Amino acid sequence: MRRRLASLFIPTILLVVSSVGAHGQQGTQNGEWRFYGGDAGSTKYSPLDQINPSNVKQLEIAWRWKAENFGPRADYNWEVTPLMIGGVLYLTAGSRRDAVAVDAATGETLWMYRLDEGERGDRAVRTQNRGLAYWSDGKNDNRILLISPGFQLVALNARTGLPITNFGKNGIVELTEGLDREVVKPGQIGSSSPAIVIRDVVVVGAALAAGSAPSSKANVPGYIRGYDVRTGKRIWTFRTIPRPGELGNETWEKDSWQYSGNNGAWAPLSGDEELGYVYIPVEMPTGDFYGGTRLGDNLFADSLVCLDARTGKRIWHFQTIHHDIWDWDLSSPPILTDITVGGKKVKAVAQVTKQAFTFVFDRVTGRPVWPIEERPVPQSDVPGERTSPTQPFPTKPAAFDRQGLTTDDLIDFTPQLRAEAEKIAAQYRTGPLFLPPIVRDSGGKLAALILPNHTGGANWPGGAFDPETGMLYVSSVTNPDALALVAADPKRSDMGYVASMGGRRSGNAGDPPGGMPRLAAGEGPGLPNIGPQGLPLVKPPWGRITAIDLNTGDHVWMIANGDAPAAVKNHPAMKGIDLSKAGKPERSPLMVTKTLLFGADGPGLFNAGPGAGGKALRAIDKKTGAILHEFMLPASTTGIPMTYMVNDKQYIVVATGARGTPAELVALALP
């Protein structure tokens, strides 16, 4: 009888804790993981401490959940982070992005929802999936929100997986409507990241086809929209490409607002339930490396935009790049950070970027926490292009990765390798951050060497924030890439200039000047190294994790992302050279708890250096960066780890996979 009473009381107590904890506190609550980024602020922080430095070495696999048979082909690049609510994991799985509920303690499949979208699904612009959103009315109405590959918003009953029939049309809302285009064709717009629900409004971003070599300067705009979570009715639209009369329309010269597209928000979104604001990391417009078809600053491209979640009204914005021609769009969720700067408490938001900056703002007003200066930058000499004379540079924190490239950055493991590296670098145009792309083979140069390259510095794994210490952890890559434009054949594209594969030649004549890297068995080719003999051109670390104290803006420590890839370690020219702290050229997916920082080699599947990725999951000392434990997973980590507590047991769950190894979730726990 006593036990029965206790079980009756527990939900009531949890409910009270939950409603108190929902406001004004960062990190996950009650051992759950309710948002893609842990909490609405994307801190990826959990206060759980059962797994700690004293016992982390005892971690073992508790269960595995295989995604292999979800979708028509086995997925292996599974960027998902599950949610955990009430002992159930909710996730997207497989190349068709099915929604699945899994018992968080055992890994048993509870339900699955599969939407066959026909051609619009087959032609989905983005097949990756990162997860789901969750909403509850605090009583019995608990919903899972899925954005399908074909760009439909689906509301499911969290308990049964069945569509909520009075949401939209039988549980589905058409997302291709209301985009100021008469026709939106399959394969033009979608979303790889989940929606976020703030103040009962489902906020939906958008991902579009990458614009390296588009057939047209015209595309669909990636507007941000808000939908009533109960009915599915569209409440508001925020035009990321403003129309006449709207703020910023004048930044699209020659009426380029009329046809330009992209400018969505493909990264996950963040929000503040207490303020009622959502924070949108907007990407760049059509034309990744050439903007002659869209002269001007192109607001709200590359802007962090704060919107009122209920109305979609813009509260503030900050453009991190004017007239982007580097594809340095905002690629990770803004991180809400309550910090104390100069003795004053600040509700802040931090945005880490591909160009390796951390922009920090007061998230209520948009005022920079530390001054941001407009500084002169190099100018483009590509016909028809006009770059912005200045770009924003935060005065603090310092950049978390190398920016721009000089001779000092070239590898110098041996005098011979240095000489070879200098000879290779001389074939390219080099310079500081914001060096523009050049026309291929112009001025006697093959291309411009861009560092960070167009995939960043940081990218979608972003960072993690510890609200108890004010420490921001961010992972990044140091991998320059050759970027050049070629004139587009007018019968194939009206862009003027395009740059598929960054303008690298793809034929036999396109091998990097230093030769192709020799890969070890199982290693992916990735972006080719352009250094001597297929080695990286610049000094390590090639992948790193940086700890930044956001109370002071100072860097505290930096560590390499493990050792070098086998392709580099086993290279004959590297014999006898210590590469144990050279770092895998991939972004470590980070998650932080009360006791530990967790990172991993990362996937190394796309847009990373040759041989990137690996099986190691690492427990890291938060204060020093010391590696406390390495756990070898069955395959590479492809998603960001998450953690939760069920039946008094803390679990860490992470998505894994590799070429030839289908995706699966791996759950770790203490014995």
Partner 1 sequence: MRVAVGLLALVVAVAGAPRSVWDGVYSKEQADRGRAGYNSKCARCHGDALLGGENSPPLVDQDFLEKWKGKSVGKLVELTRKTMPSDGPGKLSRQQCTDIIAYLLSSNEFPAGNTDLVSDAAVQDEIVIQPKQ
Which residues of this chain interact with partner 1, rule CB under 8 A? 72-77, 95, 119, 122-125, 127, 187, 209-210, 212-215, 288, 454, 488-489, 492-493, 498, 500-502, 505-510, 527, 606-607
Count of CA atoms in the C-beta half-sphere (13 A) of 525: 7
CB 509, min distance to partner 1, A: 6
Which tokens go with 199?
A: 């103040």
CA angle 416, 586, 449 (to 5 degrees): 50
Q: For residues 50 and 500, which CB has a smaller minimum distance to partner 1 in the complex?
A: 500
Q: For residues 105 and 451, which CB has a smaller minimum distance to partner 1 in the complex?
A: 451
Q: For residues 534 and 553, which CB has a smaller minimum distance to partner 1 in the complex?
A: 534
Question: 95: burial class by Cβ within 10 Å (0-12, 13-18, 19+)?
Answer: buried
What's the rounded Cα separation, in Å, for the pair 572 and 517? Answer: 12
Q: For residues 78 and 413, which CB has a smaller minimum distance to partner 1 in the complex?
A: 78
What's the rounded Cα separation, in Å, for the pair 328 and 319? Answer: 12
CA distances from 4 to 10, 13, 588 (A): 10, 15, 45
Go through 414-434 and write b for each residue having 16 or more CB atoms within 10 A of its CB, e for each that does not: eeebeebbeebbeebbbbebb
CB 427, min distance to partner 1, A: 19
CB 72, min distance to partner 1, A: 8
Q: For residues 421 and 608, which CB has a smaller minimum distance to partner 1 in the complex?
A: 608
CB 492, min distance to partner 1, A: 5
What's the rounded Cα separation, in Å, for the pair 635 and 267? Answer: 24
Q: For residues 127 and 256, which CB has a smaller minimum distance to partner 1 in the complex?
A: 127
What's the rounded Cα separation, in Å, for the pair 273 and 107? Answer: 31
φ/ψ of residue 634, rounded to 5:
-65, -25
CB 127, min distance to partner 1, A: 6
CB 493, min distance to partner 1, A: 6
What's the rounded Cα separation, in Å, for the pair 31 and 84? Answer: 9
CB 75, min distance to partner 1, A: 8
Go through 120-131 and write b for each residue having 16 or more CB atoms within 10 A of its CB, e for each that does not: bbeebbbbbbbb
Residues sharing a CB contact under 8 Å with residue 54, sequence separation 6 or more, in sequence order: none
Q: For residues 44 and 354, which CB has a smaller minimum distance to partner 1 in the complex?
A: 354
Q: For residues 371 and 507, which CB has a smaller minimum distance to partner 1 in the complex?
A: 507
Q: For residues 187 and 436, which CB has a smaller minimum distance to partner 1 in the complex?
A: 187
CB 181, min distance to partner 1, A: 16
What's the rounded Cα separation, in Å, for the pair 191 and 182? Answer: 20
CB 410, min distance to partner 1, A: 25
| Residue in the block written with tokens 């000879």 | 423
If we measure between CA atoms, which residue out of 133, 91, 126 comes closest to residue 112?
91
CB 99, min distance to partner 1, A: 20
Q: For residues 163 and 461, which CB has a smaller minimum distance to partner 1 in the complex?
A: 461
Q: What is the DSSP letter of 363?
A: T
